[in-house]
Amino acid sequence: MDTDKTKNEIKERENAGKEMTSDDALLNEVTEGDYKYGFVTDIDTDIIPVGLDEDVVRLISRKKGEPQWMLDFRLKAFRYWLTLTPPKWAHLKIPDIDFQAISYYAAPVKKEGPKSLDEVDPELIKTFDRLGIPLQEQKQLTGMAVDAVMDSVSVKTTHKEALAERGIIFCSISEAVRDYPDLVKKYLGSVVSYKDNFYAALNSAVFSDGSFVYIPKGVRCPMELSTYFRINASGTGQFERTLIVADDDSYVSYLEGCTAPMRDENQLHAAIVEIVVEDRAEVKYSTVQNWYAGDKEGRGGVYNLVTKRGLCRGDYSKLSWTQVETGSAITWKYPSCVLAGRGATGEFYSVAVTRNYQQADTGTKMIHLAPDTRSTIVSKGISAGHSENSYRGLVKVTPAAEGARNYTQCDSLLLGSECGAHTFPYIDVMNPSAVVEHEATTSKISEDQIFYCNQRGISTEEAVGLIVNGYAKEVMNKLPMEFAVEAQRLLAITLEGSVG
């Protein structure tokens, strides 16, 4: 008996030891602080030569088998783009981008288009598995429909059939152009016109893929819809386009995630997201942006220059943006709400973390066009290392927006004496019945809080993690559960090594 007992004890200890090592491994993984999505998938890719002219635009359109009206849309945008110069107003140092040195289309080579998962290149599935994106339908118990976009094309959209039963359309935008031309024609470019800005014009000319979502009247989307963006090929840019239309009384929660391999070169990502929200509909759009941010010396990384805007066209419609920005060498992004319907609500919750030599100029625009519109902005910036983190936001209340209400809070946390945190709110009020409030604070983590944690046996490193998580909680709480966990871990990883 005794020997048995001893054996058991030994076993237990061994097990405990094993657990310890796996705990350590997890701890290491969490605190490693390096970018874990930096791998490259070795897959045949169809890349068109670098450069951009009308022929390239035509080639992209041809490769995608698009109708004439789509090509005309692209060409119109391209010709307009030629007249523009890149915007310089952001608090960012963007090196001159040579737009002729980028390949505008890269697609994993595939057979006739995958009809079932078996036909998708196993390498691709492996890639998305490594990213933690379950493409396998059997794994779909997680209750999330995924559209996976690799470089320029959508690889696979899951759960399509289940959604179709309720009349929900969730597919890649190329499919939508083919299968639902009327819907696409009606809404594409209706929120972000190709004339909007330099990068929007570029995207409109060369956009390759992205997701299209249509929620019919009165339908509540039963699962989270999600798109996962992956840049894989080198020397390319990614120009995706997402269009979400929520018809009357519908609801959808949409998630977006992004990663890219570690490379010394800078890759360009210029996307457009357009959302149309009709009467009493609600759209919740969440992003966990984790593009490769460059190395510790600031080499490489993705330039994330994105135009995101939602039009709350319907009365009492609601659009909520939640973003966790940890990646990208440069972020230039202002998810906006145009509140055009009576009583429409816009929300923006953001956590933006920058470290090393990252630069972020991000925020939102709330444009109140109708009476009784409301908007809330909560922005939390965290800067460490040599990074620059700016909040830039516009709140505009037009003369017609009787009784409009806005509350803005943007806080910045500084970790380290070499970084910068900046706030640039623009507040335009043209209606005397509107109430607009803006508050911003900038400070470092208080010594008192750290001391309190230390006193209770929590190391400084952990204490910072705790405090930062607490600081960001208000935003994290707005994320769907699946994402919140990922985002929290991401935050911890990102900040590792920033405290000193």
Query: Which parts of this chain interact with other proteins (CB under 8 A)?
Result: 89, 91, 399, 412, 414-444
**Nearer residue to other proteins within complex by CB, 79 or 422:** 422
Minimum distance from residue 429 beta carbon to other proteins (Å): 4
Minimum distance from residue 88 beta carbon to other proteins (Å): 9
Taking the C-alpha atoms of residue 140 and residue 133, their distance in angstroms, rounded to an integer, is 10
Instruction: Tell me if 221 sits within 8 A of 168, measured CB to CB.
Output: yes
67: nearest Cα among 195, 152, 160, 180: 180
**Nearer residue to other proteins within complex by CB, 269 or 386:** 386
Taking the C-alpha atoms of residue 254 and residue 225, their distance in angstroms, rounded to an integer, is 5
**Nearer residue to other proteins within complex by CB, 181 or 416:** 416
**Nearer residue to other proteins within complex by CB, 227 or 494:** 494
Instruction: Tell me if 420 sits within 8 A of 381, measured CB to CB.
Output: no
What is residue 275's three-state secondary structure?
strand
**Nearer residue to other proteins within complex by CB, 236 or 423:** 423
**Nearer residue to other proteins within complex by CB, 432 or 457:** 432
Instruction: Tell me if 206 sits within 8 A of 236, measured CB to CB.
Output: no
Strand duo 282-289 + 330-333: pairing: unpaired
Taking the C-alpha atoms of residue 324 and residue 288, their distance in angstroms, rounded to an integer, is 5
**Nearer residue to other proteins within complex by CB, 131 or 499:** 499
Minimum distance from residue 497 beta carbon to other proteins (Å): 16
Instruction: Tell me if 390 sits within 8 A of 362, measured CB to CB.
Output: yes
SS3 per residue for 259-273:
ECCCCCCEEEECCEE
Q: Per the structure block, which two tokens stand in for 362? A: 């991000």
Taking the C-alpha atoms of residue 108 and residue 129, their distance in angstroms, rounded to an integer, is 16
Minimum distance from residue 424 beta carbon to other proteins (Å): 5
Instruction: Tell me if 281 sits within 8 A of 315, measured CB to CB.
Output: no
Minimum distance from residue 411 beta carbon to other proteins (Å): 9
**Nearer residue to other proteins within complex by CB, 265 or 439:** 439
Residue 423 amino acid letter: T
233: nearest Cα among 63, 59, 106, 99: 106
Taking the C-alpha atoms of residue 9 and residue 102, their distance in angstroms, rounded to an integer, is 62
Strand duo 144-150 + 153-157: pairing: antiparallel
**Nearer residue to other proteins within complex by CB, 204 or 379:** 379
Minimum distance from residue 402 beta carbon to other proteins (Å): 9
**Nearer residue to other proteins within complex by CB, 278 or 411:** 411
Q: Per the structure block, which two tokens stand in for 53? A: 């002219």
Instruction: Tell me if 121 sits within 8 A of 43, measured CB to CB.
Output: yes
Minimum distance from residue 46 beta carbon to other proteins (Å): 43
Minimum distance from residue 173 beta carbon to other proteins (Å): 35
Taking the C-alpha atoms of residue 376 and residue 407, their distance in angstroms, rounded to an integer, is 5
Minimum distance from residue 445 beta carbon to other proteins (Å): 9
**Nearer residue to other proteins within complex by CB, 94 or 429:** 429
Give percent helix, percent strand, percent coil of the chain, each to the nearest 5: 30, 35, 35
Instruction: Tell me if 319 sits within 8 A of 345, measured CB to CB.
Output: yes
Minimum distance from residue 21 beta carbon to other proteins (Å): 37
Q: Per the structure block, which two tokens stand in for 231? A: 């840049």
**Nearer residue to other proteins within complex by CB, 226 or 423:** 423
Q: Per the structure block, which two tokens stand in for 213? A: 């979502």
314: nearest Cα among 223, 413, 216, 248: 248
Minimum distance from residue 34 beta carbon to other proteins (Å): 24
